């Protein structure tokens, strides 16, 4: 077997890394064909790897076996304090010919990251069992799911007892309260999200300003004439969470859904998700994307039950704890 040679990533490694990334994406699409086919082209993959490499404070490692590059790993920090003293390996930040070798690449790269005080590590990993297993054996755990499904072939009817309709401006007060319901729920066990919860006046002002934005569609669910939940749909290009290899072509995005705690269990969440699916089909999208915290017991069950299949896993590791 050829000797493994791991060294710091350099700009001259970009073409070889792009070829590996295109190969990884080609294999990924055999399981999830709704993902964008364009990234199977090394030229387009090169744009993604280059963007990671040119991020502020990016660094990483490359693996050579003999004369051939067979793996690379690149990470860069995000400035938001929500993520802690962090390093992020995005979807285009890693590819290996042999899954086990991601452990060697990380072992070499993480030395610098931890020496720099960056102890909160995040990585976005395609839905590949061998690759996920390798990351799990680096003490990473699952944090966020990215998922996709095709649009329905025919409209899905609303369940009996609920009314699903487009939101109107008079709904703004209750829409603002529902927008707070989700981060409040995320702050509870077992999610324990560290995200800040805005104030009601702040959210009201945002709804007043953005309500007529035609790039977004908002639905509400009513039970006995009372709004109990809402959902928002838009184009996938409007969502910052899904970009590059994790952003399918011509897709809608279920960007938000919430139901008041006292109204959960009536089927409103599922019905709202189905409303966004129906809207996506009417607009002409081929697929719909969403994401959720895997520790959110509600969404992690509701969205797979609605047909969403996980394409990427955001994993997290906190060093020293």
| pLDDT tens-place string over residues 44-68 | 999 999 999 999 999 999 999 988 9
310 close to 152: Cβ distance less than 8 angstroms:
no
Residue 2 pLDDT: 56
| 163: β partners | 222
CA distance 179 to 182: 6
> Is the pLDDT assigned to residue 297 strictly greater than 90?
yes
What's the mean pLDDT when you consider all of the chain?
A: 96
Mean pLDDT (whole number) for 120-126: 98
Residue 82 pLDDT: 83
Mean pLDDT (whole number) for 101-125: 97
216 close to 234: Cβ distance less than 8 angstroms:
yes
Mean pLDDT (whole number) for 302-314: 98
> Is the pLDDT assigned to residue 124 strictly greater than 80?
yes
| 288: β partners | 149, 252
Residue 186 pLDDT: 93
Mean pLDDT (whole number) for 122-137: 98
Mean pLDDT (whole number) for 209-233: 97
Mean pLDDT (whole number) for 242-258: 95
Task: Give the β-pairing of 59-65 and 4-8.
Answer: antiparallel
Using 50, 70 and 90 to split pLDDT, how confident is the model at 75? Answer: very high
> Is the pLDDT assigned to residue 194 strictly greater than 90?
no
Domains and CATH numbers, the chain: 4-138 (3.40.630.30), 150-310 (3.40.630.30)
49: CB partners within 8 A, 6+ apart? 14, 17, 18, 21, 72, 74, 92, 93
Residue 241 pLDDT: 85
* Per-residue model confidence as pLDDT tens digits over 226-235: 999 999 999 9
Give me the percent of the chain exceeding a pLDDT of 90. 92
230 close to 178: Cβ distance less than 8 angstroms:
yes
Instruction: Give the number of other Cβ atoms within 10 Å of residue 117's Cβ.
Output: 8
247: CB partners within 8 A, 6+ apart? 36, 236, 237, 289
pTM assigned to the model = 0.94
> Is the pLDDT assigned to residue 1 strictly greater than 60?
no
Using 50, 70 and 90 to split pLDDT, how confident is the model at 173? Answer: very high
From residue 291, how far is each of 227, 254, 257, 310 by CA, in Å? 24, 8, 11, 9
> Is the pLDDT assigned to residue 131 strictly greater than 70?
yes
Mean pLDDT (whole number) for 214-231: 97
Residue 196 pLDDT: 82
Q: What are the φ/ψ torsions at residue 2 (nearest 5 degrees)?
A: -65, 145
Higher pLDDT, 229 or 159: 229
Tokens representing 86? 């962090």
Using 50, 70 and 90 to split pLDDT, how confident is the model at 240? Answer: confident
């Amino acid at each position: 077997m050829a000797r493994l040679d791991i060294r710091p990533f350099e700009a001259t490694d970009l073409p070889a890394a792009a070829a590996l990334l295109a190969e990884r994406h080609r294999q990924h699409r055999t399981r999830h064909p709704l993902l964008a086919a364009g990234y199977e082209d090394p030229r387009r993959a090169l744009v993604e790897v280059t963007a990671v490499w040119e991020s502020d404070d990016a660094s990483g490692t490359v693996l050579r076996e003999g004369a051939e590059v067979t793996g690379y790993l690149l990470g860069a920090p995000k400035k938001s304090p929500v993520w802690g003293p962090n390093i992020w390996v995005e979807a285009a930040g890693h590819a290996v010919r042999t899954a086990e070798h991601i452990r060697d690449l990380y072992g070499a790269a993480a030395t610098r990251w931890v020496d720099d005080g960056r102890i909160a590590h995040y990585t976005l990993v395609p839905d590949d069992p061998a690759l996920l297993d390798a990351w799990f054996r680096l003490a990473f755990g699952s944090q966020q799911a990215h998922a996709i499904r095709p649009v329905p072939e025919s409209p899905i009817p609303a369940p009996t007892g609920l009314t699903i309709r487009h939101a109107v401006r008079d709904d703004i007060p209750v829409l603002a309260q529902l927008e707070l319901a989700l981060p409040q729920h995320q702050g509870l066990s077992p999610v324990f999200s560290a995200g800040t919860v805005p104030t009601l006046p702040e959210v009201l002002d945002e709804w007043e300003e953005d309500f007529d934005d035609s790039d977004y569609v908002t639905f509400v669910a009513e039970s006995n004439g009372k709004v109990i939940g809402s959902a928002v749909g838009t184009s996938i290009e409007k969502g910052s969470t899904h970009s590059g290899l994790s952003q399918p072509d011509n897709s809608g995005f279920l960007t938000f859904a919430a139901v008041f705690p006292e109204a959960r269990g009536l089927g409103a969440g599922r019905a709202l998700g189905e409303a966004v699916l129906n809207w996506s089909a009417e607009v002409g999208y081929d697929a719909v994307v969403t994401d959720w915290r895997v520790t959110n017991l509600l969404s992690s069950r509701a969205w797979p039950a609605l047909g969403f299949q996980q394409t990427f896993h955001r994993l997290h590791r906190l060093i020293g704890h």
